[in-house]
């Protein structure tokens, strides 16, 4: 192995998790006259040199400022005409709202903080907005470029987002989803991975997981690499990255056994990380080495998958439907108590459906009031937010039975959601997507504490409408 290469690797890891001093950059300057003309409340300003936009909020307490860039997908804010206090701006893309006086997003409620810019008042009455950024560690003290040897760097596309990068003797593997579906029965691999994909996975020196979705990390039937370094980041663009990837903060250092990567380091709760590592990896990759191979694949290379073993996976999900626990209506209370989400003014109606999202006559249909974690038969009289969710019965019950995250339901296209008002409840979804307890509900204990099913009930099981909702 090229000795220079080995020191390059050491160099890379030397900086992992390292916190450097911040840099500062003036992104907007206003002269005294422009500062004087700022009205109380929200002002929008553009830097004439680079065209970038900023928001300044003026109050008796001074100034606050931020970039005019929505944390969701970078949309532009405008004044929110519904906000009579003049503190809120609204994104033109998907209507997120930001209260600029507190720099908190109000839609989604209880969610994110906007990154603030420093406001510096100058002696001459002018003002500067300053962006503080941590130094990018890979840019400090750069090395001289090194000559690459023939074959020293090799990238192999395996399937979906999974690639293998070989640097000399070191192998890096990215986002290993190689077998079976992701998001319950919602997503299936398009490209056939190479036959040795699991060998490649197990031979990896480092695995990078770009974000916490099941199309980037799947079980592989127990074939796992041992003592592998893991890198995780919170980067993910587009709707697929939301809301898992908006934890804010650019660097957060090292987490347990996780080797963090430079830039956009993940800030997961240990809970979530442990949940991830409960799963083994599954990966499937193909035979394509180099871009040339994509346009001119090796003879006999199978590029697209033509078999997915649907039944194997769908049957497993559907096996949850007949689980003993669903013979007892009190599973609902047990499950949501286990989930642990409450003190939030939201009422959710959950409806079990067939594959066409038609309610099933023998399925559950119930309300959960998350304010006090009660299960009323009708919506409460008080003002409240309301969501109605129709779920395919097999996936819903599988998720309940195994204490799974709810990504399987909605990213996997296994439900239909209506909401009133049309507000994204980040706190609710984030809880069911990332904050569920590490261990699933103790259904054995549940079955011990519920009264035995009467014969008549057993006969009716499968025919009852368990909870009637008006």
Selected from 30, 66, 91, 265, the binder of ligand FES by CB under 6 A is 91
d(CA 30, CA 47): 9
**Interface segment toward ligand FES; rule CB under 6 A; list 67-75, 257-265, 338-346, 356-364:** 67-75
Residue with Cβ nearer ligand FES (74 or 237): 74
Only one residue has tokens 């020293």, namely 152
User: Considering the complex, what minimum distance in angstroms separates the CB of residue 42 from ligand FES?
Assistant: 16
User: Considering the complex, what minimum distance in angstroms separates the CB of residue 107 from ligand FES?
Assistant: 9
Residue with Cβ nearer ligand FES (97 or 160): 97
| Residue 70 binds ligand FES, judged by CB under 6 A | yes
User: Considering the complex, what minimum distance in angstroms separates the CB of residue 95 from ligand FES?
Assistant: 6
| Residue 223 binds ligand FES, judged by CB under 6 A | no
| Residue 426 binds ligand FES, judged by CB under 6 A | no
User: Considering the complex, what minimum distance in angstroms separates the CB of residue 234 from ligand FES?
Assistant: 17
| Residue 427 binds ligand FES, judged by CB under 6 A | no
User: Considering the complex, what minimum distance in angstroms separates the CB of residue 159 from ligand FES?
Assistant: 30
Residue with Cβ nearer ligand FES (74 or 249): 74
Selected from 45, 64, 72, 171, the binder of ligand FES by CB under 6 A is 72
Selected from 93, 143, 269, 358, the binder of ligand FES by CB under 6 A is 93
**Interface segment toward ligand FES; rule CB under 6 A; list 68-76, 124-132, 372-380, 404-412:** 68-76
Backbone angles phi, psi at 302, to 5 degrees: -95, 115
Selected from 94, 104, 302, 384, the binder of ligand FES by CB under 6 A is 94
Selected from 6, 8, 47, 73, the binder of ligand FES by CB under 6 A is 73
Give residues 95-154 in contact with ligand FES (rule: CB under 6 A). Answer: 95-96
Neighbours of 330 (CB within 10 A): 13
Count of residues that bind ligand FES according to CB under 6 A: 10
User: Considering the complex, what minimum distance in angstroms separates the CB of residue 102 from ligand FES?
Assistant: 18
Give the binding site for ligand FES (CB under 6 A). Answer: 70, 72-75, 91, 93-96
């Amino acid at each position: 192995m090229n000795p220079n290469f080995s020191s390059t690797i050491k160099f890379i890891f030397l900086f992992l998790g390292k916190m450097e001093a911040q840099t500062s950059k003036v992104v907007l300057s206003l002269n005294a006259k422009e500062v004087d003309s700022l009205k109380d409340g929200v002002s929008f300003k553009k830097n004439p040199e680079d065209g970038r936009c900023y928001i300044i909020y003026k109050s008796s307490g001074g100034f606050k400022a931020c970039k005019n860039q929505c944390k969701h997908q970078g949309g532009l804010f405008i004044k929110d005409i519904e906000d009579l206090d003049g503190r809120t701006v609204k994104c033109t893309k998907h209507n997120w709202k930001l209260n600029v006086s507190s720099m908190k997003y109000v839609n989604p409620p209880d969610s994110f903080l906007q990154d603030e810019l420093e406001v510096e008042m100058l002696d001459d009455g002018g003002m500067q907005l300053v962006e503080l950024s941590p130094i990018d560690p890979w840019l400090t003290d750069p090395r001289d470029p090194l000559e690459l040897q023939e074959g020293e760097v090799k990238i192999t596309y395996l399937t979906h987002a999974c690639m293998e990068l070989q640097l000399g003797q070191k192998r890096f593997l990215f986002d290993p989803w190689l077998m079976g579906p992701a998001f319950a029965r919602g997503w299936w691999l398009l490209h056939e991975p190479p036959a040795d994909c699991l060998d490649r996975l197990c031979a990896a020196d480092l695995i990078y997981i770009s974000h916490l979705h099941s199309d980037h990390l799947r079980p592989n039937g127990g074939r796992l690499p041992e003592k592998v370094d893991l890198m995780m980041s919170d980067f993910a663009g587009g709707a697929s990255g939301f809301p898992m990837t908006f934890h804010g903060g650019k660097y957060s250092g090292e987490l347990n056994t996780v080797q963090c990567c430079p830039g956009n380091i993940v800030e997961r709760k240990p809970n979530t990380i442990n949940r991830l590592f409960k799963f083994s990896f599954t990966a499937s990759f193909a035979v394509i080495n180099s871009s040339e191979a994509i346009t001119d694949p090796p003879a006999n290379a199978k590029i697209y998958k033509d078999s997915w073993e649907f039944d194997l996976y769908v049957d497993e999900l559907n096996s949850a439907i007949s689980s003993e626990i669903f013979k007892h209506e009190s599973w609902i209370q047990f499950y949501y108590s286990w989930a642990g989400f409450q003190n939030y003014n939201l009422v959710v109606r959950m409806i079990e459906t067939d594959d066409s999202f038609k309610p099933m006559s023998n399925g559950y249909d119930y309300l959960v009031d998350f304010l006090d974690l009660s299960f009323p038969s009708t919506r409460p009289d008080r003002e409240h937010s309301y969501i109605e969710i129709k779920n395919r019965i097999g996936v819903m019950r599988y998720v309940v039975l195994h204490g799974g995250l709810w990504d399987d339901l909605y990213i996997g296209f296994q439900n239909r959601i209506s909401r009133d008002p049309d507000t994204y409840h980040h706190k609710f979804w984030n809880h069911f997507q990332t904050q569920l307890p590490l261990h699933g509900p103790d259904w054995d204990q549940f079955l011990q504490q519920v009264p035995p099913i009467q014969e008549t009930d057993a006969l009716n099981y499968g025919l009852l409408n368990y909870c009637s909702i008006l």
